[in-house]
Amino acid sequence: MKFHPAVPALVLLAAASFTACRKVPLTPSAPIPAGTVVFRFTRAIRGPVELTVDGARIPVQQPSKEARSLQISGLATGKHRFFLTSQAETFSPDSGELDLPADRGLYLVALTQKFDAVLYGKPDQLPPAEGLPGVTALLIK
């Protein structure tokens, strides 16, 4: 039995793409508490990340160099508008509306892509984020 020369190449390509793709969990490993939103990124991000919730900039803490998730805690039940941006990465979705139920939190997967921009000079420093009372944001591994 003879195979077409393209068959081994296709098998190698399929094996390489299978091992190269990382799986991102579509559901959280543990229940998310009420008032909390977790953005799970498809790749590790370097930051810094700018987050705006309901028109107010929220300070984002980044204890480690790279992070896989953004956890926002202390949000009230109901609808909230968000905007997520960074100088080094792009996110999808980067803005939208969250509808927080009273009994549990939200888990969202955000497609993340590295963004290499050539900037001449230094970017303008933003003023410190004022935040919302009781709302915290943390980048976690």
The answer to whether residues 132 and 58 touch, using CB atoms and an 8 Å cutoff, is yes
Q: How confident is the model at residue 13 (pLDDT cuts 50, 70, 90)?
A: low
Torsion 27-93-95-52 (CA) sign: positive
Q: What percent of the chain has pLDDT over 70?
A: 79
pLDDT at 37: 95
> For residue 8, is it within any domain?
no
Domain annotation covers residue 82? yes
pLDDT-based confidence at residue 16 (cuts at 50, 70, 90): very low
Task: Please tell me the total count of domains within the chain.
Answer: 1
pLDDT, one tens digit per residue, over 126-138 is: 777 787 888 999 9
Nearest in space to 56 (alpha carbons), one of 140, 133, 141, 138:
133
Tokens 């941006």 map to which residue?
85
End-to-end CA distance of the chain: 50
What pTM does this model have? 0.77
- Within 10 angstroms of residue 91's Cβ, the number of other Cβ atoms is 21
Q: Is residue 67 a part of any domain in this protein?
A: yes
For residue 58, what is the domain's CATH number?
2.60.40
Domain-embedded: residue 18:
no
Domain limits for position 39: 25-140
Task: Report pLDDT digits (tens) over 73-129.
Answer: 999 999 999 999 988 889 998 899 999 999 999 999 999 998 776 667 676 777 777
User: CA geometry: angle at 40 spanning 52 and 25, to 5°?
Assistant: 160
Three-state secondary structure string covering the chain: CCCCCHHHHHHHHHHHHHHHCCCCCCCCCCCCCCCCEEEEEEEEECCCEEEEECCEEECEECCCCCEEEEEEECCCCEEEEEEEEECCEEEECCEEEEEECCCCCEEEEEEEEECCCCCCCCCCCCCCCCCCCCCEEEEEC
Whether residue 33 lies inside any domain: the answer is yes
- The residue among 6 and 100 whose pLDDT is bigger is 100
Residue 64 within any structural domain of the chain: yes
